[in-house]
Amino acid sequence: MNNKTVGIVGVGNVGATLAFILATKNICSTLLLKDVRENIVQAMALDISQATNAAKSKTITKPCLKDEEFKNCDVIVITAGIARRPGMTRDDLLITNAKIMTSVMNSITKYNPNAIVIIVSNPLDAMVYAALKASNWNRNKIIGMAGILDSARMSYFIFEKLGYGQGQIEASVMGGHGDSMVPLADFSTVAGVKLNTLLSEEDIEDIINKTKNGGAQIVKLLETGSAYYAPAYSTSLMIEAILEDKKKIYPCAVMLEGEYGYNNIVSGVPIMLGINGAEKIIELDLKDEQKIQFSKSVSSVQELVDTLEKKFFEEKKAF
Ligand SMILES: NC(=O)c1ccc[n+]([C@@H]2O[C@H](COP(=O)([O-])OP(=O)(O)OC[C@H]3O[C@@H](n4cnc5c(N)ncnc54)[C@H](O)[C@@H]3O)[C@@H](O)[C@H]2O)c1
Ligand SMILES: O=C(O)C[C@H](O)C(=O)O
């Protein structure tokens, strides 16, 4: 058993599901939970602790009602914020969640100077930007979860189309976690076999569109919120890679400083995840068409960041 502490801020659907995975799978020794809803955070800590005992896992889960109790975390996951409902895009959550993200970052940085922070709240790339801006922390320490989820969705849609290959599919998605994300069919394989060997162009196009629409599809069916099992599981993979210094390559949202030709903007790219967070950014050799799509995706995140800068950070400075 390691001696690691993971903290989760926001124990709604994604946060509570993630807590359940971490505690029952014995991924950390201590799990700290925080939420503005104090009864919920206590209920989740009790329920998850009892599940942990059923699982004979050693993780200790604690609710934190005060800022100073939520301390010395190795990894912190932020899922705090509102989720979209049918008819909304993730971008509609921008200002509400930026306020929440800024207040959460202000409250956690003081007591957790060594933490690596994983952002889940949407709109994802803009929230990573807001968290970096609120904390002034280095870019390796604040990383967004989305690429693993989007790639898992793409893998599922490939399986759905083929009817075989589950467990052998490696799909790849980069760019922002929005409608203009960039599923990379060329970099996706089934047991090493390229997609275009197995599927027609039309089928691949259909998989790409379904992947881009994967979150909205679940929002429409759920009616009251958005997906949480696949998001929580994807986040747990990032946590394991960091805590165990696995140096695994995953698509995650990070601040670009020259990579792919972009600066001061967050986007999803393959990175190496280890004990220091985002330890390396990998630059794929993209084709011209993929570069154009990536550039459109970056531009849509840039629009959100510009709105944040004008409507949120400028206004905050004025007070
Ligand atoms: N990056 C991704 O791929 C991905 C995937 C799924 C969900 N999301 C996003 O994650 C967020 C959470 O989704 P969810 O389904 O868990 O929503 P949810 O409504 O079930 O949970 C959100 C939780 O945040 C809490 N919260 C709100 N303000 C807070 C604050 N200031 N401090 C602490 N806690 C606070 C709420 O009380 C609630 O328990 C949403 O923004 C959603 O869009 C992102
Ligand atoms: O779709 C959403 O709003 C939640 C999340 O970003 C997802 O992709 O499931």
Nearest ligand to the CA atom of 12: 1
Taking CB atoms within 8 Å and a gap of at least 24, the contacts of 196-204 are: 198/162, 199/158, 199/161, 199/162, 203/161
Domains within the chain, CATH numbers bracketed: 5-144 (3.40.50.720), 147-304 (3.90.110.10)
pLDDT digits (tens, 9 = 90+) for 181-199: 999 999 999 999 999 999 9
Give the pLDDT score at 318.
60
Give the pLDDT score at 314.
79
User: The tokens of 232 are what?
Assistant: 């929580």
How far apart are the C-alpha atoms of 131 and 127, rounded to whole Å?
6
- In the chain (319 residues long), the average pLDDT of successive 10-residue segments reads 95 98 98 98 98 98 98 98 97 98 97 98 98 98 98 98 98 97 97 97 98 98 98 98 98 98 98 98 97 98 97 73
Query: pTM for the whole thing?
Result: 0.98
3-state secondary structure of 118: strand
CA-closest residue to ligand 1 atom 5:
231
Q: Which residue has the tokens 């881009």?
A: 212
Name every residue whose Cβ is closer than 8 Å to that of residue 30 and which is 6 or more positions away in sequence. Answer: 4, 5, 6, 59, 60, 61, 62
**Amino acid type, 7:** G
Give the pLDDT score at 283.
98
Q: Which of 313, 314, 256, 243 is nearest to 125 (CA)?
A: 256
> Residue 165, by phi and psi: left (phi above 0), alpha (psi -120 to 50) or beta?
left
Residues with CB under 6 A from ligand 2: 84, 90, 122, 177, 215-216, 218-219, 226-227, 231
Give the pLDDT score at 312.
87
Instruction: Provide the 8-state DSSP code for 141.
Output: G
Catalytic residue among 34, 177, 210, 212: 177
User: For the chain, where are the alpha helices, taking DSSP H only?
Assistant: 13-24, 38-54, 94-109, 124-135, 147-162, 195-198, 201-212, 214-222, 229-243, 288-307, 314-318
Q: Distance, CA 143 to ligand 1 centroid (Å)? A: 16
Give the pLDDT score at 162.
98
Choose one of 82, 84, 89 to mutate for the ligand 2 pocket test, by most ligand atoms within 8 angstroms of C-beta.
Answer: 84
How far apart are the C-alpha atoms of 288 and 276, rounded to whole Å?
33
Nearest atom in ligand 1 to 15's CA: 16
Q: Is there a catalytic annotation at residue 61? A: no
pLDDT digits (tens, 9 = 90+) for 102-150: 999 999 999 999 999 999 999 999 999 999 999 999 999 999 999 999 9
Element (H, E) at 251: strand 248-257
3-state secondary structure of 35: coil
